[in-house]
Amino acid sequence: MENQFSVTTSSLNLPLKAALKLIAQLPVSGIRCDARTELKPREISQTGKRDLLKALNEYGLKMTALNFTIRRSFFEEADLDARIAATREAMELTAQLKARHLCLKIGEIPDPEHRSYSVLQQSIDDLARYGNHIGVVLTIIPIGKSPQVLKEFLATIRSGPTAIDFDPSRYMLGGHDPIDALRELYQSIEQFTARDAVRDYSGGGEETQLGRGEIVWDEMLATLFEVGYRGSLNIQRTAGENRFEDIKNAIGYLGNVAGELW
């Protein structure tokens, strides 16, 4: 299952070059970098892009996707043009690094009766159109709210392709059954982020080592296979004292669980 794993480099809290050296020791085929904190589109030169692609080739890795963070939603009209322009630049960087997906959160979907819904719709439509032009898929990271609402919203975007980066822990912490959410959204899922989490008595929760949380991974992977997903499993760790070991163990755990499915 080696060719089915990628790792989010920012998980390691290291400079990118150091992170690449560590990740190259793992049985993975790709990485996912952050276009806000690690590879800023306005700061990385053409030489820097070439050097990164060369390093990835030497390590036997590829860029599977980029992550990008916006500081306010696309339905907030103040400085909206600047956010759209910054996202376009991140999409261009994605294409230049030979990846196909730019993954980002768009926040909660507003009520369709509110003006903010149409503003969000127009913003995402514009970005999807641009992505279609340059060969990049705008890939939404759900925040754990209603999968049906997200599905209905994405169905209104028709100017270009959109997709979903599915993270089961987000839906579990949001109070939804992640398997049900997966079945609801599977037709749009083109990226999958493997994280685990545990809920607490107050209704909140926290990320934990994969395999030690509440996600039922054998059912999750079986359902992924059933619905036709054949993409990579992106390992991401945003907490913990020894993240490299956590990522290494997560790969081994998922490989054992998956068996011959993949």
- Identify the three-state secondary structure at position 24: coil
**Confidence (pLDDT) at 29:** 95
Low-confidence residues in the chain, pLDDT < 70: 1-3, 203, 260-262
The residues that bridge with 164 in the sheet, in sequence order, are 140, 189
The CA distance from 230 to 221, in Å, is: 11
Q: Per residue in 45-59, pLDDT tens?
A: 999 999 999 999 999
Residue 206 backbone zone (phi > 0: left; psi -120 to 50: alpha; other: beta): beta
C-beta separation of 259 from 221 below 8 A: no
Domains and CATH numbers, the chain: 2-258 (3.20.20.150)
Angle among Cα 120, 99, 131 to the nearest 5 degrees reads 35
